[in-house]
């Protein structure tokens, strides 16, 4: 089960790999701003690896209850909403998405305050 957005962690590593290879071909391309972005990307992947299992465990049961499926995906939840098969004020749904958004931001940008 993957709760995170695209680019996936693999796609993120690929783009850093691409950038570093390009920069090595032409060291003038190596600029501080892009290095900072690369580090941010690597930190997202690092946090995702360390928090992923915990997030999966925490949301598995609630996701099963909402979708009624033993194995569910994020797209199942999307489809329930799209097809009006769940009330948009359903407290379990709201709770699930609220808590999940808080967990995702811990991976993608823990400094983000709202």
Partner 1 sequence: MDRIKLFLENLLDEEIEQLVPLSGGASAEITKIITKNRAEYVLRRSAYLGKSQLAIPKLLESKIQREVLKYGVPVPRIIVDFEEDNEIGEGYIMESIIGETIPRKILRDEKYDSCRGKLLFQIGASLAKIHNTSTKELCNLKKASFHDSLDELYKLYLSFENPQPVFDLTFKYLQKENLIEYEDVLVHGDFRLGNFIISEHGLESIIDWELAHIGNPIEDLAWLCVKSWRFGNTKDRAGGLGSLDSLLEGYQSISNLKIDKTQLDIWQMYGSLKWGIICMVQTFAHLSGEIKSLEKAAIGRRVSETECDLMEMIKNNIF
Q: Which one of 56, 60, 78, 92 is in contact with partner 1 (CB under 8 A)?
A: 78
The answer to whether residues 3 and 100 touch, using CB atoms and an 8 Å cutoff, is: yes
Cα 21 from Cα 16, distance rounded (Å) = 9
From the CB of 24, what's the least distance to partner 1, in Å? 14
* Interaction residues for partner 1, span 38-67 (CB under 8 A): 38, 40-41, 44
- DSSP class of residue 70 equals S
109 binds partner 1 (CB under 8 A): yes
CB of 57 to partner 1, least distance (A): 19
Phi first, then psi, for residue 7 (nearest 5°) are: -65, 140
């Amino acid at each position: 089960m993957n709760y995170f957005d695209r680019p996936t962690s693999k796609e993120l590593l690929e783009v850093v790999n691409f950038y570093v290879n390009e920069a090595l071909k032409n060291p003038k391309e190596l600029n501080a701003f892009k290095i900072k972005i690369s580090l941010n990307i690597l930190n997202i992947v690092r946090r995702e690896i360390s928090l992923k299992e915990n997030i999966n465990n925490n949301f598995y049961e609630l996701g099963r209850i909402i979708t009624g499926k033993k194995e569910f995906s994020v797209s199942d939840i999307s489809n329930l909403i799209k097809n009006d098969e769940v009330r948009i004020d359903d407290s379990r749904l709201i709770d699930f998405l609220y808590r999940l958004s808080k967990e995702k931001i811990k991976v993608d940008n823990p400094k983000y305050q709202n």
